[in-house]
């Protein structure tokens, strides 16, 4: 009845609980009575202002006939997602990259993790020694090696030359 955890990682448990209540045609007062919990507690959870604790996860699991840790795992996933979003963006030393290398975007706007594959490919195709060394310093040889293996085609011979020169295909 409830969504698979893998599909909703990072979502606040209250949002999933709202969906479950709607499917069961139940309101928060009825839920509070059914699991012997304070209505205010459930209201705070449903509105994303409070976390689901393990005892409540067990109570909800019994009511919805799901694994006892379902809402606890969802809560943990949400907390991790919030921590990831709140940490400062980490970037390599941008002064070591020529603006011309990333002519089609603003260097300080690049999401270095989300666009890792494209960044690695571009720097290995068109980057100079300083840029490639900064790339290796930021991602590490092991990460770059994995990405290089996933890149099927590069029309620039400099890509393969740089991969070989910096030993980026060997398992580290």
pLDDT per position as a tens digit, 117-165: 999 999 999 999 999 999 999 999 999 999 999 998 899 999 999 999 9
pTM of the model: 0.55
pLDDT at position 88 is 65
10 Å CB burial of residue 160 (0-12, 13-18, 19+) is middle
Count of C-beta atoms within a 10 Å radius of residue 119 = 23
- R_g (Cα) of the chain, nearest Å: 24
Average pLDDT over residues 68-87: 90
Average pLDDT over residues 110-116: 92
Beta-strand ranges (E) seen in the chain are: none
Cα distances from 146 to residues 55, 110, 161, in angstroms, run 42, 21, 17
**103: pLDDT strictly greater than 60:** yes
Give the pLDDT band (50/70/90) at residue 86: confident
Give the pLDDT band (50/70/90) at residue 89: low
């Amino acid at each position: 009845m409830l969504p698979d955890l893998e599909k909703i990682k990072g979502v606040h448990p209250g949002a999933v609980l709202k969906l479950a209540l709607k499917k069961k045609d139940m309101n928060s007062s009825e839920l509070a009575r059914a699991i012997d919990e304070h209505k205010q507690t459930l209201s705070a959870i449903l509105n994303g202002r409070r976390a689901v604790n393990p005892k409540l996860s067990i109570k909800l699991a019994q009511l919805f006939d799901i694994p006892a840790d379902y809402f606890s795992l969802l809560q943990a996933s949400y907390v991790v997602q919030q921590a990831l979003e709140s940490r400062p963006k980490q970037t390599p030393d941008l002064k070591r990259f020529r603006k011309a290398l990333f002519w089609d975007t603003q260097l300080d706007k690049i999401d270095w993790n989300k666009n890792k594959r494209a960044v690695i490919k571009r720097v290995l195709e068109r980057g100079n020694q300083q840029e490639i060394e900064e790339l290796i310093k930021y991602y590490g040889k092991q990460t770059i090696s994995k990405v290089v293996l996933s890149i099927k085609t590069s029309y620039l011979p400099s890509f393969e030359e740089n991969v070989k020169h910096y030993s980026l295909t060997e398992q580290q």
